[in-house]
Structure 1
């Protein structure tokens, strides 16, 4: 293992041997560079914190100088260990601001060496890549939408991937045919794995909105705050990390269908805002004051008993009736066993074609 100097260093010690003009120039460059620059000793004690670091982490320099770098969320122990070994660290880590907001950052840390070429400290450069990650998610979202369009174009079955000729499924097909051309909200109820999303897609594909987006929002995956910003979008500066305006699912689905999966998990604090959007076809982005008109058909799905949740005050009654203009109840496979041979044949043919068998 390589040696390193264990003497304590300060920022003044590092620049002591420089001419005043050179020191002033160096500090001016480091203070005004558009990246976070943090300098520490080998124990992780912060000795320099530039202006952009103050903006990024919401700390004043005097609040962090002399404190351990872990205050910024940098808890990867291997970083300082690599620096002590004279090695550079490059990677993505999660940092945090003074108010506790975590954000992804691309980080480069290099050792500072003394006159004997031994490591005595570290210079860390960090850049917030929240926006980059968001753009990546949006690209993935657009890719999924493209795949959805390609799927619809290549779809040859009358009801897509819905398979079944039992009496229960024939009744569902008949109801789908009636409700598809009507611009009313639909609630699909059934256990997990019964094909609720497939039914929602089939209704959309047979509706006048079929040439517009079919957008999926999973209400069970996100917290109330995140779900609200995903559904309704947000304005630039609405909260820490909102560097650009973002359209929500309602705007993306404009003219098409918004599928609210697992609607039974929708937090109560979001239900009121969803009710207004459903009733008035108007939304407000998080942090926005201007009303935005939207035109999206709502198809919701749940595996829960919403009527029971309404009785327990866990789901708004007015929202329930707005969503369940038409209710489609999907039976589990155990209640339509006559469809098992057809499903078996369908999947055998599907995967045989996929794998060239």
Structure 2
């Protein structure tokens, strides 16, 4: 009987066991400690661009604190890509600001032209804009070469949701180095993990200092517990930071493995018309060499030999976990009343796209099983 193949399982080796065991033996089991400090320094060095880092309990916490740091709150709005995971929009809602959704480009990342049109429209109406949030979707950076200067001209802060993109790059820097602040996620299904966890990155040290204060329950620096602000329990534990340090030491090899898996899927895709790997061949990067290959996503056009739903059904029958792309935020019931600037692109991507198992822990036999099942599903429809 087939064993389940997961979409993006955490990849843990003896390296991680050694780091975590050393952390436990150090006695720094409670939150904070030397592994947290070292993890922050190592991630900041990896991202570059002059950023410093704050280790947190989740990527969502990082976005929440980043938005608080630039003044998002009631009476203001934050423009967010509609093609994203709900955490991007939830972080806006936590501040009391209103999310305004903007549609995607063909590669599923933010439609930069439409975003600028939305900003200009809201500014003409006199709507206070706290920030624009970008999302580096599925491990591919947004087009910051075009977006960042346009926002700077208009005086709008940029917050980068790089939760899915550690290790990816684009013109001008690495994922996590753009805007006033950026958030990373180390959830169990990400390119690297701390089980749960995240990181706030910024070159604005005042913003980071404020975030560090709020993330530790906003405790005042006195001998007793004194609080003048509402704070949050958002810090990362030392043991989980040790796990993250081990994962970071292997990040390049894990990205390389995910890329090798993508190439095997690409060889199957090349056999059929009307199917492509999302992001490949878009813009000026035909090889998607700057991606971190977190998830390999397929798009099946009308001329494809099967629909996305039919392929998902075939994979599920072999206990292979695959999913549709993110359901756009403007279609989510919880955000049904939110304002949106739409072209229909994200809805088309949701209808025609799917994600394939992409984790670096996949064995060659598992990848071969996915390829064989995908190929069989497509050939069956052709016949």
When the two structures are superposed, what TM-score results if normalisation uses the length of structure 2? 0.25
Greater relative CO, 1 or 2 (CA 8 Å, sep 6+): 2
Q: As a proportion of its length, which structure holds more strand?
A: 1
